[in-house]
Chains A and B, each alone.
Chain A
Amino acid sequence: MQVFSDMIRSPDVMNRETDPDAELVFKAAAGDRKAFASLVRSHYNRLFRLVWRMVGSREDAEDIVQDVCFTLATRIDTFRGESKVSTWLAGIAINAARDFLRRRKARMNTLEGYAAVVNLFPQADEHNPQRALWLAGALGRLKDDLRETVILVAGEGLSHAEAAEVLNVTENTVSWRMFEARKALSREGIAEVFHD
């Protein structure tokens, strides 16, 4: 039996009670393969939605989430129970998507150089209408930091405090970014930005 003061102090005990997924993570870390599979299954769609909103392509989102799932296998025992499992996973997914975007940017820069020499590489996303839509849509027009914040708060329903945890910024920053994003996306806001 755990004494009451320990329960207050121990984040994983607290979480086991409030977050049913925490139990799954601890079981998986202890070697319960079924718990691990169940965790992946139940979070896949949510992670896919989050990552898709970051990158705007179904194929890339699938690859990234697959990677996230694999990463999860190697990091399952690093979950400390200090946040909700869904928040923790959102953080891993955001990082993977950021990494992807960074790589894509670097690749595009270099590929342009290659393509000048050998015209072999298909232009990026030339047959990807989904991505074109995404670029034209609200998210595509936002700056990276604003977009991430909007995806977490408006898309995933995280509180500003939770989003702050995922993004490793203060709660105030999240609130400020949300305000900026609203401003940028409202018609007037866009006009303002242009006239500034």
Chain B
Amino acid sequence: MTDDREFFHLDEPPEPSEGALERALAAALAGYDARHPRKNAGGEPPREDSVVVSLDAARRATKPPQDTAEPVHRKTGFFHRFGNLAACGLLVVVGGTVALRYAGRSNEQTFAYVGANMSSSRPGVDVAAHRNEAAVIVNVPADAAPRALPAANPPEPPLPVAEEADNAHSFTREANSALASADAAPLQDTDHDPVIAVFRDDMIPDARLGNRRYAFVRAAQTVPYGSVRLAAADTYRRSPDGDNPQSVSPDGFIAVAREPFSPVPFEVDTASYFALRESLENHRLPPESSVRTAACVNHFSYNYPTPASADRPFKTTVSVIPSPWRKDERLLLIGIRGYAPAGAVNGATPAGAPIAEDVEVHVEFNPGMVSGYRLVGYNARPPAERGFSDDAAGAGDIGPGYTVTAMFELLPASDAIPSAVATEPAATEYGVVNMRYKLPEASTATYSAEVVTPAEEYKTFGAAPADARFAVAVASFAELVKGGKRTGSLTFSDVLAMAEAAKGEDRSGERAGFIALVRKAQTAR
């Protein structure tokens, strides 16, 4: 009917609100990124027995109201559906503590911001303390028994408790809105399995909510990119599912949309380089598995800038350079040098009084700039015992002049996250390197952060500092000896050329020694 349009003369819709398209796009891309590596893995069925939900990506996709009186209920719609998506088996792991962990199909969990305008009418609750937290509301079957969190989880700080039933009435407006937007009758909703088999024993029952309970989730998971910098760094923990193959693409890249945080190994055992050298001196290639790329890179010394004072005992040098291994890929090099008082021994073997203790380092990648990353020299993940655990057993005293180099392969985001979503300071940042340590004798931790900006990016490999190029040559060499699975068409001759061009002053002669070793490798078998 050609005149249908005229006859019905439908009202034109209003314009979508500002940023609506961007929010939708960000949500869509988050889903796309989260799914894509899994699809490549050969169509593995989604795992439904363990759903880990973190709010970071969700929060990034939907900006929370900030200091406004606007009700949040329409913002919560997305989270609600996010929960349902989790039920579809989508694993959403975004750095930080596991918020909730369910066995069995899960759905109907609702996330709502407890925004800045959280009602102060709730007696006994420090409103400011929950400013950046999210209320997580789940359905719990009446006969379910609470189960403790897996042992891998660090203890949570005490949650606010709804003291009496009366107080429940003054529960915040935001949470009320969240409840209003949750399906109030899930048990009659036959499209969805209403049962969540596991709920946390510290979740709070609320007589008014029937089978629902709620808990607050800590700020560290709910802040957008870039906000984790200092104060929250120590609340970062690796999620127990960090090693889950679903977070990792077949070629070892971790999706930033899922896990924007990576630990940076701070203490690296360099001994295995000697075994490699000895083997090649005898014209034999060592067994592939005996070669440790990170050990080789850290066997050499680099002339990173030195910190000026003992008060800030570490200086971080970062550079982003085009990768010689893979087209469109970049390498992020992080060099950290410790303070060395005049006269102290300089180098990897510390001497003299420690400059710091309990050092932890992590990097947070900006999803607007990086879609995936891989820590060079480790199988997807550095060993779990390195830092970022409560006991931090590995990180002891650090001696003067201590130097460490870490290298990440980065896959740039092919399509920048819309500006409305990428938080303002972050539009062009690759990420942030966060450090936490204790100065000797200090009772509290000190934090520092180094932002990886485009200023640290070198457009060509040749333009990069000699130290960075040499480190890449060593890493390439180690990877080639290991079989060259990651180094594309690179050959020992290429490594040789790289190393020779990056030799620099080489007062100790160690770089010349490396070059000789590469020559031996060319003929070794």
Which of A41, A73, A117 neighbours the largest number of chain B CB atoms within 10 Å of its CB? A73
Question: What is the CB-to-nearest-CB distance from A136 to chain B, in angstroms, rounded to a whole number?
Answer: 11
Residue of B nearest to A150 (CB): B8
Which of A32, A44, A151 neighbours the largest number of chain B CB atoms within 10 Å of its CB? A44
Taking a contact as CB atoms under 8 Å apart, the answer to whether B5 and A157 are in contact is yes
Q: How many Å lie between the Cα of A36 and that of B35 in the bound state?
A: 13
- The interface-forming segment of B15-23, B193-201, B348-356, B468-476 is B15-23
Taking a contact as CB atoms under 8 Å apart, the answer to whether A34 and B414 are in contact is yes
A90 interface residue (CB < 8 Å to B): no
Binary contact track A118-140/B, C-beta < 8 Å → 1, others 0: 10111000000010011001110
Taking a contact as CB atoms under 8 Å apart, the answer to whether A72 and B28 are in contact is yes
B33 interface residue (CB < 8 Å to A): yes
Question: What is the CB-to-nearest-CB distance from B334 to chain A, in angstroms, rounded to a whole number?
Answer: 26
A7 interface residue (CB < 8 Å to B): no
Q: Which chain A positions have C-beta within 8 A of B77? A: 60, 63, 66-67
Residue of B nearest to A113 (CB): B184
A16 interface residue (CB < 8 Å to B): no
Residue of A nearest to B188 (CB): A106
Q: Which chain A positions have C-beta within 8 A of B29? A: 33, 36-37, 40, 73
Contacts A40-B25, A122-B180; A178 near B4 (Cβ below 8 A): yes
Question: What is the CB-to-nearest-CB distance from A29 to chain B, in angstroms, rounded to a whole number?
Answer: 9
Contacts A69-B28, A153-B1; A74 near B85 (Cβ below 8 A): yes
Q: Which chain B positions have C-beta within 8 A of A41? A: 21, 25
Q: Which chain A positions have C-beta within 8 A of B371? A: 33
B31 interface residue (CB < 8 Å to A): yes
Contacts A36-B28, A77-B39, A130-B14; A67 near B21 (Cβ below 8 A): no
**Choice from B14, B17, B185, B415 contacting A109 with Cβ under 8 Å:** B185
**Choice from A52, A69, A76, A153 contacting B14 with Cβ under 8 Å:** A52
Residue of B nearest to A107 (CB): B184
Contacts A37-B415, A70-B81, A121-B180; A153 near B4 (Cβ below 8 A): yes
A62-B17, A153-B1 provided; 6 other pairs, C-beta below 8 A?
Answer: A62-B16, A63-B74, A66-B24, A107-B180, A154-B10, A178-B1
Q: Nearest 3 CB-CB pairs, A to B?
A: A73-B31, A69-B28, A110-B184
Q: Chain A: residues with CB nearer than 8 A to chain B?
A: 28, 31-34, 36-37, 40-41, 44-45, 48-49, 52-53, 58-63, 65-67, 69-74, 76-77, 99, 103, 106-107, 109-111, 114, 117-118, 120-122, 130, 133-134, 137-139, 150-151, 153-155, 157, 178, 181-182, 185
